[in-house]
Amino acid sequence: MMKPEMQKAFNAQINEELFSSYLYAAMVNYFEQQNLKGMAAWMRVQVQEELIHATKLFGYVLERDGAVELKAIAAPKAAWKSPQEAWKAALAHEQHITACILDLHAKAVELKDPASTIFLEWFVTEQVEEESNARDIVAQMEMVKGAPGGLFMLDRELGGRPAPAGGGAASAT
Ligand code: FEO
């Protein structure tokens, strides 16, 4: 069974991942309003990714005979000054999530819970990809700044992002 302090930290991370999903859903809405349908589609996939992260954590807590505590999810921002600013906010958010995962991993080491450290290694690796994805798009947005044709092309390209492997959140439970 998981130590209460570890369980509390896992529950806090479940909330972080659900908030991530909520934040990216707000970005879907924002990009749709900007007529950037490809970016909205990319973010729809990200909403699913975050639900997968939350449900992986959820499943693990239950597997360890722990109790999942679902707390209120904060309301995300609804609009950004520009699409560039939205992508920068996505990158900053992923950097925050990486810090949360590293803290959670450090807590598992501190509490001598090797099952949790091993489980969290997947998330440590995943965060490398999450940050890299957002950083690449921030850089591409910078390249097309002031060039509507470039923005149009980038939007189309981002719209081709495939759905998460396994078909979505349901498969991760
Ligand atoms: Fe669940 Fe985007 O980190």
| Residue 95 Cα to ligand 1 middle (Å) | 9
Tell how far the Cα of 29 is from the centroid of ligand 1, in angstroms.
Answer: 19
Average pLDDT, the chain: 95
Q: Please report how many Cα atoms fall inside a 13 Å half-sphere around the Cα of residue 46, on the Cβ side.
A: 29
Q: Are 169 and 49 in contact (CB under 8 A)?
A: no
Rounded-to-integer distance, Cα 82 and Cα 79, Å = 8
As a whole number of angstroms, the distance between CA 161 and CA 63 comes to 32
Task: For residue range 77-130, list pLDDT tens digits in order.
Answer: 999 999 999 999 999 999 999 999 999 999 999 999 999 999 999 999 999 999
CB 104 within 8 A of CB 13: yes
For residue 104 and ligand 1, the question of a CB distance below 6 A is answered with: no
Ligand 1 atom closest to residue 46's alpha carbon, by position in its atom list: 2
Please state which of the ranges 7-11, 50-54, 161-165 shows the lowest mean pLDDT.
161-165
Residues near 79 by beta carbon (within 8 Å), at least 6 away in sequence: 30, 33
